[in-house]
Structure 1
Amino acid sequence: MKKIGEFLSSDALKPYKVEDLPGIEGFDILGIPLPENQTDDAAFETFCQEAVASYWHYHGGCLVGEVLDDDFRVTGINALRVVDGSTFPSTPASHPQGFYLMLGRYVGSKILQERLASEEALP
């Protein structure tokens, strides 16, 4: 979190800061601001305890067959796909990283197959 604080304080992000927003000079992180004192370990410990929650792994917001088609495209938008945990109807029984990796590989393989098929169809 301290590295994030350093990043947010960098000159590169100054154009993206918003006036009157709590946080490090105009950023809001996870609903509560990062501690102003970047060297205060106790404040960062409190921040992490208050900010970390299991609900950050969203599931079910972009279900296949409702929001997405069978190829994980957003319905009505061919150039946009959603390939993340929001496509799962419920939380996997174990750590979700393996599921995300396999889903990405599966959809990536489908995209490559589609591209190869469209190249073969060209005159």
Structure 2
Amino acid sequence: MGGLESALAEASSPWWRQRARAGRDLGSFADVPEVAEVLVGLLLDAEDTAVMRQTAEALARVGTAAAVRLIALAVVEADGSQADWLQTGVHDALVGPDGAPDVAAACGKLARDQEETVRRGAAEISAWIDGTSC
């Protein structure tokens, strides 16, 4: 758990590079409640857009419903500029060398989520995906 604890500590660093690294390193732990809360904070980072973008990209690359759910939650809370950077991060994952084929499937699952906020965010992400030529 040392790596997880270290990444959680970096998530609150005053330096954007460390927060961005934390977002990338924590992506695979999106289903852990305390990590999920930290990741949503990084997705809505008020200090630096690179943190938002890289965290969104990492979560989209993970592609699980738990990971995409966090992006969906952030999208609904985000202002216009933040949403643009989240979209860019998801786009980066989709067009990257390995792509992120599971994002669309995760959005499909999240479209039936109990939480209306998650359904709205997933619909927004689906619209992004539909507009991406990968």
Q: In which range does the TM-score fall when normalised by the shorter chain?
A: under 0.3
Between Structure 1 and Structure 2, which shows a larger proportion of helix residues? Answer: 2
The one of the two structures with greater contact order (alpha-carbon pairs below 8 A, sep at least 6) is 2
